[in-house]
Structure 1
Amino acid sequence: MSRSLLSLQSLSAIAMRCASTAGSPMVRTPVPLFGIDGRYVSAIWSAASKQKKLDAVDNELKQLLTLTQKDVRFKDLLFNPLIKVCVH
């Protein structure tokens, strides 16, 4: 598995741990965000903030952005829900 996918998994794990603590309040983002993408960003921000890993998450998101810029097929996989994943 590539390093970028591992980073994405660790980012996902942070978000899942945050979601599992439903009783704790969300940490607000410095700038109000709206829409579906805003909800995802807010959840990631809150989870990373609670675990004091904002810098690590920032670096991982930058790596993900770089990977989507370099690998068109990976970008298509992320942004096109009609593409089927083929694992051999």
Structure 2
Amino acid sequence: MSGTIDKLVRMANQIATELEHQQGANAATATWDHLWHFWDPRMCAQIIAYLDQGGDGLNDMARKAVTMLRDKGTTPSQTPATDFAVGADGVPPSDAG
């Protein structure tokens, strides 16, 4: 894994774990909601691409939430300031790394 994806996986797992303690059966939906509302679209795109490659390291609840994020679609950029070009490696830059 790259440093950025390591951080995204760790953050998704932490969010899912915390919300599992708070929300129980609703944890996957609560985690998806958090990712959808608060993660930059580039971060969402990277974690979805990682899930599609197998998603090693994602805990069960985070995996469910990222699957929901992929299936429901990600949020558009909230401001033009977050509309960036794709990086040289074909991946949009992320503020997570």
Q: Does the alignment reach a TM-score above 0.5? A: no
Please tell me whether Structure 1 or Structure 2 has the larger radius of gyration of its CA atoms: 1
Higher RCO (CA < 8 A, seq sep 6+): 2
- With normalisation by structure 1, the TM-score equals 0.31
- With normalisation by structure 2, the TM-score equals 0.29
